[in-house]
Amino acid sequence: MKVFLTRLCGVLIIVTLLGLVTWSHVDAGTTGKIAGRVIDKKTGQPLPGVNVTVVGTRLGAVTDEVGQYFILQVPPGSYSVRASIIGYSPVVQTNVRVLIDLTTTVDFAGNFALQEEAIQAGEVTVVSQRPVVQPDISGNVANISAVEIQNLPRTSVQQIIDLQAGVEKGFVIRGGGRDQINFNVDGLSLRDGRDNQAFNSVSYTAIDEIQVQTGGFNAEYGNVRAGQVTVVTKEGLRDKYTFDGIVRYSQPDFHFGPGPKDPLAYYMRPFLDAAVSDKGTDGGAWDIYTRRQYYPFEGGWNKIAADVLKDNDPTNDLSVAQLKEVFNYHHRKNVNIEDSNYEIDATLGGPIPLLSKPLGGLRFSASYRGIQEPYFYPQARTSFKEDLFQGKVTADLKANMKLNLQGLWAKQTGMADYAFEIVDFPNPQRGGSPLYPWSDVEPGRTTLVNDNADHVGRSMIFGEDVYSINDTKRYLLGGSFTHTLNKNTFYEVHVSRFHTSYDSHPSRRRSLATVKTIGPGYKLDEAPFGWTSDGTSSIGSGLRLGGHWARARDTSRVSVWNAKLDFTKQLNRVQQLKAGVEVILNDLNMNFRSDDSVIVHLQRSRQKWEQNPMQGAAYVQNKLEFKGMIANVGLRLDYFDPRGEWFVYSAFDRSFTAKGNATRSEVLQTTTTEKQVTLSPRLGVSFPITVNSKLYFNYGHFRQLLDARNLFQFQLAWNGNIYRLGDPNQPLQRTVAYELGYEQNLFDMYLLRLSGFYRDNDNQPRGVQFTSIDLLVDYSLSQPLNYSDVRGFEITLNKTRGRWLRGFVNFTFQQFKAGNFGLGREYESVVAQRDYELTSTDHYQFRPVSQPFGTLNLEFVIPKDFGPKIAQDFRFDLLGGWRAGQHYTWVGPGGGVIPGLQNNVQIKDFWSLDLRISKNVATTLGQAQFFLDVNNILNLKYMYFQPGNPYGGPFEGNQDYENYMTSLQLPESTFPKDIVTTPQYINIPGNDRPGDRRKDGVAFVPIEKVAADANLPANGLPGGAAFLEPGRRVLFYVQATKRYMEFTGGSWKQADQGFVDQVLKDKAYIDMPNETDRTFLNPRSVVFGMRISF
């Protein structure tokens, strides 16, 4: 007892010095189990009393009367297991892999059975072979070790997870985003209490094991609906120090072709090209086709110079040359990307000097991760940056007691969300470019690429302060205590605090001091740099120098406190019982808004409130293992208490108006919020068919807390009226999930897994708009009226063994369907409500959308004993991906809704192929790896844009977007005749898809469309055109005859078929988006890296 107290006091002193004053929350298992039997080789009978130990640890067991044993609480990893008894030669099995929450079977039977010493002298060592089909899994689970990922051209936890079957780029598992995923590190939950999203940034070199589970979660898992990710980090060794460090560096090149300040760029050529800049883009030099490719500059500098002479301000009476000088000054920003792309990741571990032996083998593991991701357009902060420190201190207080103390601190800095109405995405924007050509995938990830809304997007390119800056800090502190009562029983106690602080505000105010004077006294300050809300513009070009800038304001603070007790008992050889209770307290101190200091809009709103909801849970689950069959049966009870009062109001309460703001606190009554209790059954079964195959099935109900805004938001518009309102009495979101799967060992080398799944989601929030008869009450109320379902199947082929070649390929097919219960609007006016209900489609179910995708990984290895030494241990790792293009709705120019027409166009499929070439070198210090990562090795060129968004990515408004879409020759099935009886435009039937492009270097050949020959213009010019530039050829397609016509020699003739064929082959008819610098992104890039470990 004295030794125990000495060790405990010593450890607590160290903890105090380190500042680790709270504890950690473990809501998922992070260890596994070893079990098996020991046989006498001579008699074939079981051997009782055999000592079975895990070499290098204190873990072990003794076989029972039937020769069976089990060892609990084994951390994941590879071990040697030793069986010994007096009178028999010991046997050691090496390469025994233990997985998280699973049982590894290690039998000392057959060739591995124990023999009497007289027959065989000395210790016998054999290599254990991990079974290709793991019988202990009743769901789709991927267990990934650090060794398996060390050669992939990926260096983050999320990137590794994204490669698994059922997981899409952006941390989306079976259609569920990161708010439906439970992510923990060493059992510590990293769920942010603000939006329920998982913070998944972890040191890469600290990883020991990753488990990704996409279905069949046991009863111990809560606040999860789509996926469970468990990361186990390395633990410091007792007797030596270890180090692992990795560095990656590249100079980013985000786009194909020239940048936004190229003389031919969209915003530059109209003001700089001598052919048009003085007289304007409408001055007769450019025809209609060239004019619509550039920013309109009507009248040119000559008109601007004449206009400024007419006003009463003599200081702006500038000549054309002086106006151009002003233009160049306001467009002086260096838009080139100067920052590098880098990652630094390192982990050091080992015994704590002087204190290790007296304090129970006190040891540590400390990690750092730093990354920099440059922004596509440099801003006040030119890059997203992250610095992360994490650490773990471990001590064995007694042989049966273990204490773990853990901490994590992370700071992310960058540009904040645009915050048009309010701060919707509280974290800093990530750098780089979109994950897919058609969307951000991760909210807020790449707004700096896609935001092109009128003057705001332009100011973002040539200015620096359109967005606020953002600093987000997180820390998690905690610990866990494990006490093994006997060989069959242990319990764990866990407590933690995960805190996040958000800070968004403008970078710096603009200095109004005169920097330069032009002409008779036109003064220029430092604009467009520095923040101002004054809505000024650059003379002539119209570049906004201030206005709706840096709107995000956020000083919210969020903490999540957790406490949990888990009890595990191996009842007998076939049953393991696990039970636990959990309490989660949320401290929500919210203060965020959208702010315009000068220009006031109704949409600018704010939220400031504090809430302290509480969750509780209790679970029990029984794991049965009998002759290869596994059954996990469990029941979970979830409890939710919003804690506090909430408002009592009528649908069109007059206190919600701006006028009612002054007396609202006196008029609105409150009542106690409602408590909720739910039960969720869980079942998972794995049944072996043969020694090489199995079937598995799982079913369960899964509940999850809503995000804080849908529960508690009280959002006020600038004038004081209530704009959005939450409802803390909404039920917990629910998912009912089913999965059926099959696994097969092929040739004792490949694992084939087939699984089908279905996820039914309900009680999801949607906003219902309430509008009074006088329009003074107009707010959105969060209600649990949204539902969805995701169904699909996954195929995985994994080559688990091989000297020259290893890898995997997986394919996921899933369909997503969603809808809403009830209507999305309620009017106080009976007439308005009737008209709305007659025309509304927002309660219609969305047509199912297919979303297939796949991943391929091939690792070619030159063995260490093959060929010349310089070539040995060279590795070539290919990583490929495919994603079917996104579906969306296109009805034609002008937009609108055609009942029954949904998702009728599909963007081009996306393919990717990356390569890592690496060479491992043994040094006197340890192992060194030098590698070269080549991203997009084939230099595939894709058009990046946001579907249906005329201001997204490369498009400059509705006309630009519609010019592109109407130039495509879409399949005839795009507009089914039974749905689209009167098409909005003439579509030439073809096989184009959005994302198709004109061949590089090919001139634009417009194809105009007319219904019949009689509609061909007599002068040969398209509508609105006064002339055509020399060399311009225009084809006309006649719908009635399906012929291509060309106006030559003063009359219409059928176009030369060879010319038409070449135009169609080169897709020369496609009217490409105007902003070429952000049309084609992610060209081939090279990353250099080095890894050292000892």
Q: What is the pLDDT of residues 161-175, one digit of tens each?
A: 999 999 998 899 999
Lowest mean pLDDT among 415-429, 568-582, 751-765: 415-429
For residues 911 and 879, give the distance between their C-alpha atoms in angstroms, rounded to a whole number: 11
For residues 282 and 291, give the distance between their C-alpha atoms in angstroms, rounded to a whole number: 8
Please state the rounded mean pLDDT for residues 211-237: 92
CA distances 869 to 150, 840, 874, Å, are: 21, 72, 10
Nearest alpha carbon to residue 739 among 688, 687, 793, 818: 793
Backbone angles phi, psi at 50, to 5 degrees: -85, 135
Nearest alpha carbon to residue 889 among 906, 904, 908: 904
Q: Indicate the burial class of 832 (C-beta count within 10 angstroms; 0-12, 13-18, 19 or more).
A: middle
Q: What is the pLDDT of residues 596-606, one digit of tens each?
A: 766 555 567 88
Q: What superfamily in CATH does domain 2-98+103-127 come from?
A: Carboxypeptidase-like, regulatory domain (2.60.40.1120)
Say if residues 439 and 433 touch (Cβ distance below 8 Å).
no
Q: What is the pLDDT of residues 488-510, one digit of tens each?
A: 999 999 899 999 999 999 999 99
What is the model's pLDDT at position 21? 32
Q: What is the pLDDT of residues 455-483, one digit of tens each?
A: 667 888 999 999 999 999 999 998 889 99
Please state the rounded mean pLDDT for residues 570-599: 90
Say if residues 252 and 378 touch (Cβ distance below 8 Å).
no
Q: Do β-strands 188-189 and 207-213 pair in parallel, antiparallel, or remain unpaired? A: unpaired
pLDDT over threshold 90, residue 121: no
Share of the chain above pLDDT 90, in %: 70
Residue type, 39: I
As a whole number, the mean pLDDT across the chain is 90
For residues 432 and 478, give the distance between their C-alpha atoms in angstroms, rounded to a whole number: 34
For residues 327 and 302, give the distance between their C-alpha atoms in angstroms, rounded to a whole number: 14
Full DSSP string of 288-314: HHHHTTS---BSHHHHHHHHHHHSS-G
For residues 1010 and 985, give the distance between their C-alpha atoms in angstroms, rounded to a whole number: 10
Nearest alpha carbon to residue 296 among 283, 282, 284: 282
In DSSP terms, which residues pair with 386 in a beta bridge?
A: 371, 412
* Cα 676 to chain centroid, rounded: 31
Please state the rounded mean pLDDT for residues 556-572: 94
Lowest mean pLDDT among 130-134, 334-338, 550-554, 1037-1041: 130-134
Backbone angles phi, psi at 314, to 5 degrees: -70, -20
Residue type, 369: R
567 pLDDT band, cuts 50/70/90, is very high
Say if residues 996 and 968 touch (Cβ distance below 8 Å).
yes
Sign of the C-alpha dihedral, residues 624, 625, 629, 632?
Answer: positive
Q: Indicate the burial class of 140 (C-beta count within 10 angstroms; 0-12, 13-18, 19 or more).
A: buried
What is the model's pLDDT at position 415? 94
From first CA to last CA, the distance across the chain in angstroms is 37
- Give a three-class secondary structure readout of 632-696: EEEEEEEEEECCCEEEECCCCCHHHCCHHHCCHHHHCEEEECCCEEEEEEEEEEEEEEECCEEEE
8 pLDDT band, cuts 50/70/90, is very low
Please state the rounded mean pLDDT for residues 64-69: 91
What is the model's pLDDT at position 3? 43
Please state the rounded mean pLDDT for residues 529-549: 89
Q: What is the pLDDT of residues 921-974, one digit of tens each?
A: 988 888 999 999 999 999 999 999 888 777 778 888 889 999 999 999 999 999
For residues 453 and 1073, give the distance between their C-alpha atoms in angstroms, rounded to a whole number: 15
* Cα 295 to chain centroid, rounded: 35
Buried b (16+ CB within 10 A) or exposed e, 961-995: bbbbbbbbbbeeebbeeeebeeebeebbebebbbb
For residues 1047 and 1017, give the distance between their C-alpha atoms in angstroms, rounded to a whole number: 9
Say if residues 26 and 188 touch (Cβ distance below 8 Å).
yes
Lowest mean pLDDT among 16-20, 248-252, 825-829: 16-20
pLDDT over threshold 50, residue 14: no
Return the percent helix, strand and coil in the chain, to nearest 5.
10, 45, 45
Say if residues 489 and 570 touch (Cβ distance below 8 Å).
yes
pLDDT over threshold 80, residue 285: yes
What residues does each domain of the chain span? Answer: 2-98+103-127, 963-1081
The better pLDDT of the pair 1083, 536 is held by 1083
What is the model's pLDDT at position 22? 31
What is the model's pLDDT at position 421? 78
* Helix, strand counts (H, E) of the chain: 14, 55
The better pLDDT of the pair 627, 737 is held by 737
Full DSSP string of 5-42: HHHHHHHHHHHHHHT--S---B-S---EEEEEEBBBTT
